[in-house]
Amino acid sequence: MLGLLGVAFDLVGYAVTIIAEGIKLSSPGTFN
């Protein structure tokens, strides 16, 4: 059970990172 939660959090963190990078690329200057 804890293993599944760990994997779920890893996937969520990965998705958040990808989305954040996409936002940075689509709107340069906003995060500077």
Which pair of structure tokens corresponds to residue 3?
Answer: 């293993």
In a domain, 2, yes or no: yes
* Whether 30 contacts 24, CB under 8 Å: yes
Helix (H, G, I), strand (E, B) or coil at 30: coil
In a domain, 15, yes or no: yes
Q: What is the pLDDT of residue 24?
A: 83
Residues in the chain, total: 32
Q: Which residue carries 């940075």 as its tokens?
A: 24
Overall number of domains in the chain: 1
In a domain, 30, yes or no: no
Percent helix, strand and coil across the chain, each to the nearest 5: 80, 0, 20
Query: What are 1-32's pLDDT values in tens digits?
Result: 788 999 999 999 999 999 998 888 877 666 55
Cα gap 7→32, rounded to integer Å = 32
State which residues form the domain around 10: 1-25
Predicted TM-score of the model (pTM) = 0.57
In a domain, 31, yes or no: no
Q: What is the pLDDT of residue 25?
A: 82
Q: What is the pLDDT of residue 31?
A: 56
